[in-house]
Amino acid sequence: MSKDIFAIIEHRQGKIQDVSLEILTKARQLSGETGGQTVAVILGSDADEIARSLTTAADKILYVENEKLAHLHSDYYREALSSIIDERKPLLTIFGHTSASFEIAPSLAAHLDIPIITNCVDFHIDGEKVIAKVPLYGGKIDSEYSFDVQNGGIISLLQGAVKAEDGQKSGEVEKISFTFDKDFDSKEFLGFIEAAAGEIDITQAEKIVSVGRGIKDEENIALVKDFAESIGAVLACSRPIVDAGWLPNERQVGSSGKTVKPKLYIALGISGAFQHLAGMKNADTIIAVNKDPNAPIFSVAHYGIVEDMFKVIPALKQKIEEMK
Ligand SMILES: Cc1cc2nc3c(=O)[nH]c(=O)nc-3n(C[C@H](O)[C@H](O)[C@H](O)COP(=O)(O)OP(=O)(O)OC[C@H]3O[C@@H](n4cnc5c(N)ncnc54)[C@H](O)[C@@H]3O)c2cc1C
């Protein structure tokens, strides 16, 4: 087993995903402790430029090339990764916790017969063990898991868990022309479908009023929309509101929605699950309204109101009208 830390880089249409820069930051921290190398692993075809763009981020950029790796195909990805991991034996392999890694990482762990912990907000290596923190029940409690690293292991880290930092490395690209012994033709990449451009881009908004499940009913959305308009803010929401079909998905803030950094973010009836915080915790000023004083949203809020939002919204609106 080497002391190296592998970070599996996700890229789409020539662009590296933000979470990959976050896991690289974590990999650099860990390899500093283990004395091994930070290795960025890129699977693809025609991805030389992407590989070269990571030379300051890792000690080595392992570019595994084959035209079958041009787009995400979990069987080919698993096959290539298991061969590389089996041969190089990294101490730990880190994925971003994304829909792509949902598909690859667990089957890779099963294939290699090594342990895996997914959906982590934090983890560290303590001697022979990896100890990881995983949020449960929408972030209301954290659980702790560990595994022995003597045979390696896999971790998937949630987006936003680590702040991406620039590296100071001068890594080299090692390109491997990979060949597959067999074809996996039960599924096929057909093409990318761009999400339809929404009517509004919440990432550009200076003021956001965001609504969560505390709103209870679709018909109450109008109340929040009216409040947002009265202060010149854009309306956004947590994921359950999109899942219920009450607002379109271009309004969703969080790890599977948009990341926003407005001057003002007002969270109404949002608990503050980790996936939501990942998309808004860097707003300049956060005001949270929630009936539950223990709601995690208060851990990132600059101002908190523990109260029923149906009382707070009209009171705030009236006060603002008086000040106009
Ligand atoms: C892979 C994955 C990706 C995800 N991505 C996202 C994402 O991008 N964005 C996202 O938001 N979530 C995401 N989630 C879901 C996330 O885990 C939470 O379930 C979700 O954020 C909870 O939304 P919420 O806070 O609106 O609802 P809840 O957690 O149900 O919270 C509702 C809150 O409203 C409060 N409340 C109730 N009534 C009132 C009232 N009258 N006045 C004031 N407060 C009240 C309650 O105290 C509670 O805190 C994801 C989950 C997974 C597994």
| Ligand 1: centre distance to CA 276 (Å) | 7
Of 135, 161, 177, the last residue of a domain is: 177
Instruction: Say how many Å lie between the CA of residue 108 and the centre of ligand 1.
Output: 31
Whether residue 298 sits in one domain with residue 226: yes
Q: Which residues of the chain have pLDDT under 50?
A: none
How much is the pLDDT for 197?
A: 67
Q: Are 167 and 208 contained in the same domain?
A: no
Ligand 1, atom 3, lies closest to the CA of 256
Q: Report whether residue 74 contacts ligand 1, using a CB cutoff of 6 Å.
A: no
Structurally, the chain folds into a number of domains equal to 2
What is the pLDDT at residue 144?
Answer: 97
Residue 26, domain CATH: 3.40.50.620
309 lines ligand 1 (CB under 6 A): yes
CB of 220 closer than 6 A to ligand 1? Answer: no
The full DSSP string for 234-263 is EEEE-HHHHHTTSS-GGGBBSTTSB----S
Shared domain for 50 and 162, answered yes or no, is yes
Residue 197 in domain: no
For 58-110, the pLDDT digits (tens) are 999 999 999 999 999 999 999 999 999 999 999 999 999 998 999 999 999 99
Q: Which is nearest to 176 in space by CA: 285, 288, 61?
A: 61
Q: Is 80 within the bounds of a domain?
A: yes
Predicted TM-score (pTM) of this structure: 0.80
Is residue 57 situated within a structural domain?
yes
Residue ranges making up the domain that contains 250? 202-323
pLDDT tens digits, residue range 190-217?
Answer: 988 877 766 788 988 999 999 999 999 9
> How many angstroms does the Cα of residue 195 sit away from the middle of ligand 1?
23
Q: Is residue 265 part of a domain?
A: yes
- Alpha-carbon distance 4 to 35, whole Å? 8
pLDDT score at 163: 85
Bridge partners (DSSP) listed for residue 7: 40, 94
> Cα–Cα distances in Å, from 110 out to 42, 94, 99, 266?
21, 15, 18, 43
Q: What is the pLDDT of residue 138?
A: 67
Residue 190 covered by a domain? no
Does 88 lie in the same domain as 45?
yes
